[in-house]
Amino acid sequence: MTEEVKRCTYTHEVSTERFDDLSTDIWRCPHDAHPKTNYCPFHLPADHGARSEIDYETTFMTVVSAAGTDEYSEKPERTRIIGARFPSLSLRFTVVDGDHRAPIDLRESVFEGRIDASNTTIDHALWLSGSEFHSTVSFAEATIYGAVNVKDTRFAASLLFDEAELYALDLSDAVIEGSARFREANVDQTLTCRGATIDRFDLERVDADGDVNLTELETSARLRLDNADIGGQVAANRAILSNGLWAVDLTVSKGVAIGDTHIGGPVHLDDATLEGQSRVNAATFGDRTFLRDATVETLLVSSTTFQETAGFDGTTFDRAEFRGTSFHETAEFEATTFETLVFVPNRTPRYVTFRSVTIGDEVRIAPESNHGNTDVRWLDLRESKLHEGALTQPKKGSVVYDLAGAEVGDVSFEGTSRGSLLSWYNLRRTTFDGFDFGDYRRELDEADWRLHDLNPSMEQVRRSITAVSDSPVDRPEVLETTYLKARTEAANRGDNEAASRFFRHEMRWRRKRHLSQVRSGHSVKRRLQGLARGVYNWLLGAMTGHGELSRRVVYSSTFIIVVFAVVYRATYAAAFEGEVGITDYLIFSAQTFITFLLGTAPASSPLGLRILTVVEGFVGAFFVALFVFTLTRSVNR
């Protein structure tokens, strides 16, 4: 007579949302009971002596393999081992592949010892949610074709998926007291860690085709994403990364989303590639943050705080926006390339560097004040290239825009400021290409068209900033070049008045450059050349305004006529017949100056008088030509 096989009497409450796939509130184990008890091997009490007699690996593989019928693909009761208890489990180099695709259901199970499934191939989904692992769990180099669900699971030690091949993994609300390590793992779909608490989380060189969801994640050690390649989006909203993020050479295809997140340690995203749109909103970066030499399609940063240095040097952005952002320490954008830049922070440090940046399309910089009307900050844009946009003064306080050596296109200077608006913009050696000086005609008139005069407050700010320890350069050759470039741009735009005024300043600084050679020349010849050129420049400026002021030619001509009249009266009065007054001498001098002929002098004029009249006639012809030239130039202007 065949002895009837007993069924396991273990039951498990399944009324929670975790078991919403089951239609009952009480699940009953479908497996055969152990001969010495009413429970199957998987549900034996922890202190039961029969556990030592059981080969759990073989028993487990038997259950998975024996479950295979077509009907179990739809109703996988035989692969349900809910609430199981394993002393340990070793499946190394094993192929777990039943004749079905039913998931292996181990929800709310307890694993007391080490679980080693390294180099294992599992052709099923794994349901492990709500379970407890008291020792290390290793799926290193394993291949799992189904999704792995370990939601709300507790790991007392480490969870290892190094070099594993996964379909998808859900670690939501899990607690891992050791390491969660996925080095060089491949994930076909999503990797979800929403709400998980992980001591050390290592995703170095992971390759995930879908999203990586780190929302509400809490980590104690530094989160590692070095050399990872993410085909979807990386989301880390409301996360707490206590010791920072290290993601050098990270590649993300659909951007990064960080919102309401606190990152306590350093952040390194150097050499990263962030495609798509990346958003950082209401985040706090408690330590140094670096996104250097990276490639970023779109980065939108809003209401975010950088408590230490934020560095974006050498990065290429298609579009970058920093709105309502607080930079407590230095912000660095040196040698960065933007297509579009919007920089409207509500707090900036004393010094922000955009040195040598290139902005191909549009720039808008409008930092707000930190400490009221007396606050002055320095934005270093030296050697940069700005195509178009606006550089705005804040409503309170002032910003020094250092544009020395920069290339400035159709850029406007906006806002109100203490003192002249242009005095807050250092334009030494600035190249203009599309800049309209006509928009600032009133400010330029008030400053006598002097571009190099800076606000006195700038010097005090400069001394407090080590990065710009050298004062704005006022060497003659530098300022000559400054006005040469301004004059060239004004002439190209047809702004003849501006070109004229800048040209006169250019000539004035050229004269000072020549005269400086008198003191610093290396040879007597060079010093004499500097003196001659300086004096000539001075005479040309005094008499003609360097060809720009026809009235100065008139004043100079009048002066020369008077001088020659006085000379005639003082030296050759006897040569004039009759009673001759000063008016007659002036008329004689004017005739000689204008007509290049001897005036109405006695027939027997002395040789010296004739020589004087020839000299005056020659000078007069020269000044007439100068007058015609300057008058024509003024009309054309």
Q: What is the CATH number of the domain that holds 587?
A: 1.10.287
Confidence of residue 74 (pLDDT cuts 50, 70, 90): very low
- How many CB atoms sit inside 10 A of residue 275's CB? 16
| pLDDT given for residue 127 in this prediction | 95
Measured CA to CA, the distance from residue 635 to residue 181 in angstroms comes to 79
Domain co-membership, 134 together with 184:
yes
Instruction: For residue range 444-468, list pLDDT tens digits in order.
Output: 988 889 988 877 767 666 666 666 6
| pLDDT given for residue 635 in this prediction | 57
pLDDT at 596 over 60: no
Domain boundary among 189, 223, 246: 189
Instruction: Flag whether 78 is in a domain.
Output: yes
Measured over all CA atoms, what is the biggest interatomic distance in the chain, rounded to whole angstroms? 171
Confidence of residue 67 (pLDDT cuts 50, 70, 90): low
Domain co-membership, 573 together with 484:
no
| pLDDT given for residue 1 in this prediction | 41
Instruction: For residue range 22-52, list pLDDT tens digits in order.
Output: 989 999 998 989 888 999 999 999 888 888 8
Instruction: Flag whether 54 is in a domain.
Output: yes
Measured CA to CA, the distance from residue 560 to residue 575 in angstroms comes to 21
| Secondary structure (3-state) at 190 | coil
Measured CA to CA, the distance from residue 395 to residue 402 in angstroms comes to 19
Q: State the Cα torsion 388-393-399-404 to the nearest 10°.
A: 30
Instruction: Flag whether 618 is in a domain.
Output: yes
Instruction: Provide CB contacts within 8 A for 564, sequence distance 6+.
Output: 589, 592, 593, 612, 616
Domain co-membership, 600 together with 533:
no
Domain co-membership, 42 together with 84:
yes
**Highest-confidence segment of 463-472, 511-520, 533-542, 628-637:** 511-520
| More confident of the two residues 216 and 446 | 216
Domain co-membership, 561 together with 485:
no
Domain co-membership, 554 together with 505:
no
Domain co-membership, 535 together with 563:
no
| pLDDT given for residue 464 in this prediction | 60
Distance of CA 429 to the CA centre of its chain: 25
Q: If you average pLDDT over residues 396-415, what whole number do you get?
A: 90
User: Is the separation of the CB atoms in 108 and 85 below 8 Å?
Assistant: no
Instruction: Flag whether 337 is in a domain.
Output: no
| pLDDT given for residue 633 in this prediction | 67
Instruction: Flag whether 323 is in a domain.
Output: no
Domain boundary among 189, 217, 244: 189
Place of tokens 């181990």: 106
What percent of the chain has pLDDT above 90? 56
Instruction: Flag whether 420 is in a domain.
Output: no
Domain co-membership, 534 together with 570:
no
Measured CA to CA, the distance from residue 345 to residue 50 in angstroms comes to 69
Instruction: Flag whether 411 is in a domain.
Output: no
Instruction: Flag whether 620 is in a domain.
Output: yes
User: Is the separation of the CB atoms in 42 and 84 below 8 Å?
Assistant: yes
| pLDDT given for residue 473 in this prediction | 62
Burial environment of residue 371 by CB neighbours within 10 A (0 to 12, 13 to 18, 19 or more)? exposed
Candidates 61, 559, 563; CA nearest to 551 is 559
pLDDT at 504 over 90: no
pLDDT at 66 over 70: no
Domain co-membership, 10 together with 61:
yes
Domain co-membership, 491 together with 600:
no
Determine the structural domain holding residue 533 and report its residue range: 478-544
Span of 339-343, 374-378, 459-463 with lowest mean pLDDT: 459-463
| Secondary structure (3-state) at 468 | helix
| pLDDT given for residue 579 in this prediction | 65
| Secondary structure (3-state) at 376 | strand
Domain co-membership, 530 together with 559:
no
Q: What integer best gives the mean pLDDT of the chain?
A: 87
**H or E segment to which residue 442 belongs:** helix 441-446
Candidates 571, 570, 625; CA nearest to 593 is 625
Measured CA to CA, the distance from residue 141 to residue 533 in angstroms comes to 82
| pLDDT given for residue 71 in this prediction | 41
Domain boundary among 161, 189, 217: 189
Domain co-membership, 507 together with 625:
no
User: Is the separation of the CB atoms in 155 and 129 below 8 Å?
Assistant: no
| pLDDT given for residue 636 in this prediction | 58
pLDDT at 211 over 90: yes
Measured CA to CA, the distance from residue 547 to residue 22 in angstroms comes to 97
Instruction: Provide CB contacts within 8 A for 28, sequence distance 6+.
Output: 10, 11
How many structural domains does the chain have?
A: 3
